[in-house]
Amino acid sequence: MSSNLEVEPGAASESVLVTTDSFDNFDHMSSSLEEIKNLNALAENDSNVENSNVENFDEISENLSINNEEDDFVQSKEWACKNKHVFVLSMAGKPIYSRYGNEDKLAWLFGVMQTLVSFVQSNEDTIRSIHAGDTKFVFLIKKPLILVAVSRTQESVNQLCSQLNYVFNQIASVLTLTRLNKIYEQRQNYDLRRLLAGVERLIDHLLDFSEKEPSFTLGAVQCLSLASSVRDNISSAIVGACSKIKNLVFAILLANNKLITLVRMKKYCLHPADLHLIFNLVQASESLKTAESWTPLCLPRFDASGFLYGHVSYLAEDCQACLLLLTVERDVFFALSEAKQRIVEKLRRSNCLEAINESLSAKEETCIVAGFPELRHYLYKCKSTAQFYQPSLTPPYTKYNERLTKLYKRAHNLLHCSTRPLKLLFEKNSDEAILAWDTRGFELYVVFEPLIDTNSAINSVGRLLNWIKKREEKLFHLNAPTF
Amino acid sequence: MSKNKDVELKNFFIFNSLYGPKEGEELKKILYYYPISDNADVQIKNVGLVEGIIQFTGTFKPSTPVNSLHTQKMRQLYFQPEKNMWIVLTLTLPTEVKGKDSSTQIEYLEDDVQDNVYEAVLKQAYYTYRLFWGTFEHTIENHDVGTLKTRLESFYKAYLKTLKLGHADILNVFHGIQYLPLDKLTFLKVQCFINSLECEYPEIAYTAFLYNDHLIWSGFEPKDMKIVYQYLIGTLLPANMEAELQGGSMPRNSVSPFAALHHGRFITGPTNLKTAKNVGKIPKVYLFASGKAESYNLVVYRALSASVCLFMRADKELSLQYFKDMDEFISPKLTAIVSDISEYCSKQVITPSNVPENAPRFIYFNKLNLAYKSTAHLDNKQTGNIACTKESLKIMADLNNKRSLLGHSSETIVKTMNDYWVVAKNSNSREFYVALQQKNASLIDISEEIKKLCDTELKGIFFHPL
């Protein structure tokens, strides 16, 4: 097996994404924005940044109708037994978000959660989690907010914590962390919901998204399969159209939750966690499909203190890939709009739109088609580029996708236990067998038919790694193009 | 220089919220609290937090009442053995000092304290109390809350001192019994002896027969037996062994083994029949397997390495003469049986200490009869005398915890960062854990090794083929 260690499909010397452990606390926020601005000697007035509002978000939250139905709902068994509740509150106990039920009706519950947190804090300690049978209560205290998950999903405390972190980042991405802190410095009792109209929908979507998508568990993104020449063409089309525009930090092209290409300013990288927020924004906002839009966006891992401004648009009626051009300039919409037009034209001429469409409509190969009948499914993550690949689902998981997700999450958790991490896990039961393997270069999770014996499992893994290696240029984004 | 700290007991308390519903009366809720160095305010605060957590979690209708609270620095475990009665065990997490002299940082090791292990410790604390005093409710009904408080105080003051928190591991989770397998004939002799004893003395409700720390026969439910077993091998027998080693009642300088056939004595009741003026102290115990509490007098007779535990119906008055008669009856028969058993054992038993250093170490547990066997532990005194790494035992407990998600049969093989292996097999309510310290082995080698081990150690035990 050790010989396979040399094969490390998808590895590249330079990565478009920052590569870190998916569980690290997001406390370390860089201050890239300042750097970029200073670099370009632009005397931006920072106070303006704080005044910018969320009104650019096109959808207004639904009316918070408070009626008796709501009352009954939050007291009902149905509400209590939801698979995963998520609550966000301020340090003072003010309700900000509840995944199910109206926050106002749950004010008492928010009060209890705040009390628990501050009670434990009074002993110079921090509450982490409570366990009761099948239910886990996970607390994440990220000043000035408290986030709580109540979950029956069998996910580990770390995994739930990481989801709460995403929720926090989603909020920070709309307001910036700096502004969030300032608000509560000024008024502890502030009702943040006033500023978060429309964001609830993003959080809802983010939670659904992070429960299902392996990318969140792995801390990686999946790329759209494209011939490397096509991907290079696309990248160079973007570079060509945008190289003259100053202060453009990232250009991201994505489709169907997969990355097509990412062009970046030299020296700056995007963290997968930030990219997940972008994916979420694009997925959750149907309105982006109809018109070009201009939106402020804070990427907390990149710089939590200020906004980037994004030109967001789909490439064309006949090509549903979404292009985001992120800049530090607040008033270059038209320049970016023109650049986008040039990019689309170029891509059309070089038949790249067709190639994208083709790849979008063709599903990834299943394990059987790829010549691995004993395999049901797998996840391969290349650590150095923070990218992963998975084949299409096959039965039984087309029907029981949730079970597969649970299986991966459990294996991932065992491998990444903070004090007892594991290198290898091979687990068989009457339903399936899973082999999870963590090496310096990659993580691999392979699900087999239940009756597989060890020899053939090892054999398949070796063949699989070679199979991926052969296709790495197509499956992964290996160049890290810059403007 | 190392200031690393092991897990420690922070507090332990028992309360019933109904006993002090009004403000200002909170102290009445508390039935027992350790340590006494915590003042009333602290006690009330701690109980308050637990009440808050019970209520908060109840809102979401979890499948069981709350089990535990994790914070950065401590772990709190909850157990509700009887209606409205809560027992709480709080531990300070072990710490590790990280970094160099200038910038040391204390890190709390949350994952080192495993809920399933310490939950078992907490439950055992209750069940051991219940063995001697019956349920809390029983005491309140027959006496009053004051009596319950006194009993809890005297029991737990001593009990908490005996906790070996640092060495608690997966064996606590199993809370199993070590059986001694015998050949048919010897086993039949034991059985005959017990039958004739029970015939002769109808006051005996149940009998258990132990040889050293191993159970050979028990006439009552394993559920009760495991509590009694823990008490016998953890407390009663070791105390008497010490007495014996110090030259107590054993005739140490007998001329020939055949000269002094009268080896036995009672270790509860009249311990020295020659000098006894009365029947001495006989512990009263409660068994619960029948569904309701039934009390018995526990009389233990010991000869050489064998202990015969007699559960006598509580309503029977026991006189000194009765014990003398029984001694006459038991002693010669038992002495003969013990020599048979020890002869058989000397041919069979391999003590863990003469197994080669890096041989696989295993733990086997059968949930149905609570039998366990461990070659990973060098004794069963919970002193940390183990033959594999502590980490392997922790991984075993991790895997045990995840077992329920895997269905009725499964096999898990893991490789740790230090390149050793832990394997867990689970089938038909039986669990088998192995720690292998083979650095350069491959997954295939380990699979082979496990197959071999199962063939030699688990002969005749059916594991679903996987």
What domain count does chain A have?
3
Task: Tell me if B215 is assigned to some domain.
Answer: yes
Beta-carbon separation of A429 and B410 below 8 A: yes
- Mean pLDDT, range A231-243, rounded to an integer: 92
- B-chain residue closest to A136, CA distance: B62
Beta-carbon separation of A425 and B412 below 8 A: yes
First to last CA, chain A: 41
How far, CA to CA in Å, does B172 sit from each of B122, B160, B227, B436?
10, 16, 12, 22
- Dist CA A166 CA A274 (whole Å): 9
Beta-carbon separation of B63 and A134 below 8 A: yes
What's the half-sphere exposure (Cβ side, CA atoms, 13 Å) at A69?
3
Total count of residues recorded for chain B:
466
* CATH number (domain holding residue A53): 3.30.450.70
Whether residues A46 and A99 fall in one domain: yes
Question: Which positions ≥6 away from A163 have C-beta within 8 Å?
Answer: A86, A149, A155, A207, A210, A211, A216
Nearest to B2 by CA among B95, B72, B74: B95
CB pairs under 8 A between A and B: 158
ipTM of the complex: 0.90
Nearest to A268 by CA among A302, A233, A315: A302
Three-state secondary-structure class, residue A147: strand
B98: β partners? B105
Of A336, A361, A386, which marks where a domain is finished?
A361
Task: Tell me if A407 is assigned to some domain.
Answer: yes
Nearest to B88 by CA among B17, B21, B185, B25: B17
Nearest to A131 by CA among B173, B60, B399: B60
What's the half-sphere exposure (Cβ side, CA atoms, 13 Å) at B244?
18
Task: Tell me if A299 is assigned to some domain.
Answer: yes
**Residue-wise DSSP of A440-468:** SSEEEEEEE-TT--HHHHHHHHHHHHHHH
- Contacting residues of B for A160, CB less than 8 Å apart: none
Between these two residues, B102 and A125, which has the higher pLDDT value?
A125
Whether residues A140 and A202 fall in one domain: yes
Task: Tell me if B28 is assigned to some domain.
Answer: yes
Helix (H) or strand (E) holding A323: strand A319-327
Beta-carbon separation of A458 and B67 below 8 A: no
Both structure tokens of B309: 């535990």
Q: How confident is the model at residue A238 (pLDDT cuts 50, 70, 90)?
A: very high
Report DSSP state, residue B387.
Answer: S
Min CA distance, A423 vs chain B (Å)? Answer: 5
Min CA distance, A108 vs chain B (Å)? Answer: 10
Whether residues B27 and B158 fall in one domain: yes
Whether residues B298 and B433 fall in one domain: no
Three-state secondary-structure class, residue A321: strand
Task: Tell me if A1 is assigned to some domain.
Answer: no
How far, CA to CA in Å, does B367 sit from each of A141, B210, B374, B407, B412?
41, 20, 15, 15, 19
Whether residues B239 and B305 fall in one domain: yes
Min CA distance, B40 vs chain A (Å)? Answer: 16
pLDDT at B132: 93
- A-chain residue closest to B113, CA distance: A419
Beta-carbon separation of B444 and A77 below 8 A: no
Of B144, B168, B192, which marks where a domain is finished?
B168
Whether the predicted pLDDT of A118 surpasses 70: yes
Whether residues B145 and B192 fall in one domain: no
Strands A221-222 and A387-389: parallel
Nearest 5 degrees, angle CA B99-CA B105-CA B108?
A: 115
Whether residues B338 and B200 fall in one domain: yes
Question: Which positions ≥6 away from A349 have C-beta within 8 Å?
Answer: none
Whether residues B218 and B116 fall in one domain: no
- Dist CA A152 CA B63 (whole Å): 10
Three-state secondary-structure class, residue B58: helix
pLDDT at A4: 47
- Dist CA B242 CA B324 (whole Å): 24
Residue type, B320: L
**Residue-wise DSSP of A327-393:** ES-SS-HHHHHHHHHHHHHHHHHTTHHHHHHHHHHSPPPPTTTTT-TTEEEEEEEETTTTEEE----
Evaluate whether B14 touches B152 at the Cβ level (below 8 Å): yes
pLDDT at B245: 62
Show which of residues 92-111 on chain A sit within 8 Å of chain B, judged by CB atoms: 109
Q: For the stretch B344-374, what's the b/e string if a residue is b when 16 or more beta carbons lie within 10 angstroms of its beta carbon?
A: bbeeeeeebeeeeeeebbbbbbbeeebbbbb
Task: Tell me if A234 is assigned to some domain.
Answer: yes
Whether the predicted pLDDT of A49 surpasses 60: no
Beta-carbon separation of A430 and B417 below 8 A: no
Range in A16-20, A255-259, A429-433, B61-65 with the lowest mean pLDDT? A16-20
Whether residues A170 and A123 fall in one domain: yes
Task: Tell me if B384 is assigned to some domain.
Answer: yes
Whether residues B286 and B323 fall in one domain: yes
Beta-carbon separation of A422 and B398 below 8 A: no
Instruction: Give the one of B64, B395, B414 whose C-beta lies nearest to A424's C-beta.
Output: B414
Q: Which of A77, A137, A451 to mutate to test the interface with B (most CBs of B within 10 A)?
A: A137
Whether residues A263 and A346 fall in one domain: yes
Whether residues A201 and A273 fall in one domain: no
Whether residues A231 and A266 fall in one domain: yes
Instruction: Give the one of A126, A421, A428 whose C-beta lies nearest to B417's C-beta.
Output: A421
pLDDT at B243: 67
Evaluate whether A256 touches A3 at the Cβ level (below 8 Å): no
- A-chain residue closest to B415, CA distance: A424
**Residue-wise DSSP of A115-137:** HHHHHHHTTT--EEEEEETTEEE
Task: Tell me if A370 is assigned to some domain.
Answer: no
Whether residues B356 and B293 fall in one domain: no
Beta-carbon separation of B447 and A454 below 8 A: yes
Q: Where are the alpha helices (DSSP H) in B232-377?
A: 237-245, 320-348
Spell out the long-range contacts of B181-186 with Cβ–Cβ below 8 A and sequence spacing 24 or more: B182/B216, B182/B341, B182/B344, B183/B344, B186/B337, B186/B340, B186/B341, B186/B344
Of B135, B168, B201, which marks where a domain is finished?
B168
Whether residues A91 and A198 fall in one domain: yes
Instruction: Give the one of A113, A134, A423 whose C-beta lies nearest to B416's C-beta.
Output: A423
Q: Where are the beta strands (DSSP E) in B379-420?
A: 409-416
Min CA distance, A276 vs chain B (Å)? Answer: 29
Nearest 5 degrees, angle CA B367-CA B372-CA B377?
A: 140
Whether residues B130 and B220 fall in one domain: no
Q: Which of B68, B69, B451 to mutate to test the interface with A (most CBs of A within 10 A)?
A: B69
Whether residues B236 and B300 fall in one domain: yes
Beta-carbon separation of A126 and B72 below 8 A: yes
Whether residues A94 and A202 fall in one domain: yes
- Dist CA B419 CA B423 (whole Å): 13
* CATH number (domain holding residue B435): 3.30.450
Evaluate whether B282 touches B299 at the Cβ level (below 8 Å): yes
Task: Tell me if B176 is assigned to some domain.
Answer: no
Three-state secondary-structure class, residue B220: coil
Question: What is chain A's alpha carbon radius of gyration, rounded to the nearest angstrom?
Answer: 23
Instruction: Give the one of A131, A425, A454 whose C-beta lies nearest to B414's C-beta.
Output: A425
How far, CA to CA in Å, does A61 sit from each of A54, A57, A98, A298, B33?
12, 10, 14, 20, 52
pLDDT at B466: 60
- Dist CA B258 CA B297 (whole Å): 33
Burial zone of A362 (CB within 10 Å; 0-12 exposed, 13-18 middle, 19+ buried) = exposed
Beta-carbon separation of B394 and A420 below 8 A: yes
- A-chain residue closest to B446, CA distance: A454
Instruction: Give the one of B60, B65, B415 whose C-beta lies nearest to A424's C-beta.
Output: B415
- Contacting residues of B for A422, CB less than 8 Å apart: 395, 414-417
- Mean pLDDT, range A234-263, rounded to an integer: 92
- A-chain residue closest to B110, CA distance: A419
- Mean pLDDT, range A7-22, rounded to an integer: 68
Min CA distance, B62 vs chain A (Å)? Answer: 6
User: Would you call the peptide bond into B35 cis, given omega within 30 degrees of 0 as the criterion?
Assistant: yes
Show which of residues 120-149 on chain A sit within 8 Å of chain B, judged by CB atoms: 120, 124-135, 137
Of B322, B347, B372, which marks where a domain is finished?
B347
Range of the domain at B52: 8-168
Total count of residues recorded for chain A:
483
Min CA distance, B61 vs chain A (Å)? Answer: 6
- Contacting residues of B for A419, CB less than 8 Å apart: 109-112
pLDDT at A294: 93
User: Rounded to the nearest 5°, which phi and psi values hold at B32?
Assistant: -155, 140
Evaluate whether A88 touches A204 at the Cβ level (below 8 Å): no
Min CA distance, A178 vs chain B (Å)? Answer: 27
What domain count does chain B have?
3
Beta-carbon separation of B66 and A132 below 8 A: yes
Whether residues A167 and A264 fall in one domain: no
Beta-carbon separation of B466 and A116 below 8 A: no
Whether residues A116 and A64 fall in one domain: yes
* CATH number (domain holding residue B68): 3.30.450.70
Task: Tell me if B466 is assigned to some domain.
Answer: no
A177-186 vs A157-175: helix crossing angle, rounded to 10:
80
Evaluate whether A101 touches A116 at the Cβ level (below 8 Å): no
pLDDT at A20: 55
User: Rounded to the nearest 5°, which phi and psi values hold at B312?
Assistant: -95, 135
- Mean pLDDT, range A99-120, rounded to an integer: 92
Task: Tell me if A262 is assigned to some domain.
Answer: yes
- Contacting residues of B for A135, CB less than 8 Å apart: 57, 60, 62-63
Residues A141-193: tens digit of each pLDDT? 998 999 999 999 999 999 999 999 999 999 999 999 999 999 999 998 889 98
Q: What share of chain B is helix, strand, coil (3-state, %, to 5)?
A: 40, 25, 35
Range of the domain at A168: 35-212
- Contacting residues of A for B391, CB less than 8 Å apart: 420
Question: What is chain B's alpha carbon radius of gyration, rounded to the nearest angstrom?
Answer: 25
User: Rounded to the nearest 5°, which phi and psi values hold at A35?
Assistant: -55, -50
Q: Where are the alpha helices (DSSP H) in B107-162?
A: 115-133, 136-142, 145-162
Between these two residues, A92 and B403, which has the higher pLDDT value?
A92
Task: Tell me if B242 is assigned to some domain.
Answer: yes
- Contacting residues of A for B64, CB less than 8 Å apart: 132-134
- A-chain residue closest to B50, CA distance: A116
Task: Tell me if B52 is assigned to some domain.
Answer: yes
Residue whose token pair is 């970029």:
A36
Q: How confident is the model at residue A205 (pLDDT cuts 50, 70, 90)?
A: very high
Whether residues B209 and B340 fall in one domain: yes
Min CA distance, B28 vs chain A (Å)? Answer: 22
Between these two residues, A26 and B14, which has the higher pLDDT value?
B14
Task: Tell me if A279 is assigned to some domain.
Answer: yes
Is A158 part of the contact surface with chain B (CB cutoff 8 Å)?
no
Blockwise average pLDDT, block size 10, chain B, 466 residues = 80 93 86 94 94 94 95 96 96 88 83 94 95 93 94 94 91 91 91 94 94 90 91 86 59 44 77 78 88 90 91 87 91 90 78 67 91 86 83 93 86 92 90 89 90 83 67
Between these two residues, A20 and A354, which has the higher pLDDT value?
A354
- Contacting residues of A for B466, CB less than 8 Å apart: 428-430, 450-451
How far, CA to CA in Å, does B404 sit from each of B333, B408, B410, B426?
47, 8, 10, 10
pLDDT at B144: 93
Whether residues B337 and B421 fall in one domain: no
Instruction: Give the one of B59, B416, B443 whose C-beta lies nearest to A454's C-beta.
Output: B443
Whether residues A342 and A256 fall in one domain: yes
Min CA distance, B370 vs chain A (Å)? Answer: 23
Whether residues A354 and A383 fall in one domain: no
Evaluate whether A379 touches A388 at the Cβ level (below 8 Å): yes
Residues A264-296: tens digit of each pLDDT? 998 888 999 999 999 999 999 888 888 899 999
Instruction: Give the one of B67, B402, B414 whose C-beta lies nearest to A422's C-beta.
Output: B414
How far, CA to CA in Å, does B201 sit from each of A293, B325, B334?
93, 10, 16
Whether the predicted pLDDT of A51 surpasses 90: no
**Residue-wise DSSP of A273-304:** HHHHHHHHHHHH-GGGGTS-EEEEE--TTTBT
- Contacting residues of A for B408, CB less than 8 Å apart: 430
Nearest to B191 by CA among B212, B214, B211, B218: B218
* CATH number (domain holding residue B282): 3.30.450.30
How far, CA to CA in Å, does B139 sit from each of A402, B132, B147, B148?
50, 11, 7, 6
Evaluate whether B425 touches B366 at the Cβ level (below 8 Å): no
Instruction: Give the one of B60, B72, B394 whose C-beta lies nearest to A128's C-beta.
Output: B72
- A-chain residue closest to B93, CA distance: A125
Instruction: Give the one of B74, B395, B410 whose C-beta lies nearest to A125's C-beta.
Output: B74
Beta-carbon separation of B402 and A414 below 8 A: yes
pLDDT at A194: 87
Neighbours of A189 (CB within 10 A): 9
Beta-carbon separation of A135 and B442 below 8 A: no
Task: Tell me if B177 is assigned to some domain.
Answer: no
* CATH number (domain holding residue A433): 3.30.450.30
Task: Tell me if A99 is assigned to some domain.
Answer: yes
Both structure tokens of B95: 């710490």
Is A413 part of the contact surface with chain B (CB cutoff 8 Å)?
no
- Dist CA A253 CA A267 (whole Å): 20
